């Protein structure tokens, strides 16, 4: 039986819950995702293998880099493999 995770105001709150050592463990399940907390972030994997790995800044904002974005694309049910240049170009347009 999976324990219910308390609702989160923001995704970064999962780190505080894990660090409290009384609320949730460093790995487990949230809905259809498994999660594993690491360092300053967390890796989520859905039932179909789609992977999202995110670090959190001190203010709780999500931090993604090219490596994490590439892993996400490659983990999709229909993988997308893009170059660093394509990722940088897309980020600059946003």
Give residue-wise pLDDT tens across range 59-94. 888 888 888 889 999 999 999 998 888 888 887 776
Q: Are 77 and 48 in contact (CB under 8 A)?
A: yes
**23 belongs to a structural domain:** yes
CB 12: neighbour CB atoms within 10 A? 21
**8 belongs to a structural domain:** no
**6 belongs to a structural domain:** no
**2 belongs to a structural domain:** no
Indicate the average pLDDT of the chain: 81
**75 belongs to a structural domain:** yes
Total domains in the fold of the chain: 1
Q: Are 73 and 82 in contact (CB under 8 A)?
A: yes
**1 belongs to a structural domain:** no
**What is the extent of the structural domain holding 70?**
13-93
């Amino acid at each position: 039986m999976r324990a219910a995770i308390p609702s989160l105001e923001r995704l970064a709150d999962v780190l505080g819950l894990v660090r409290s050592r009384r609320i949730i463990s460093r790995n487990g399940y949230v809905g259809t995702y498994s999660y594993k907390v690491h360092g300053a972030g967390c890796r989520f994997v859905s039932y179909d293998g789609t992977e999202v790995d995110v670090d959190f800044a001190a203010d709780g904002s999500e931090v993604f880099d090219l490596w994490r974005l590439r892993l996400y694309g490659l983990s999709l049910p229909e993988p997308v493999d893009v170059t660093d240049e394509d990722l940088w170009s897309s980020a600059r347009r946003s």
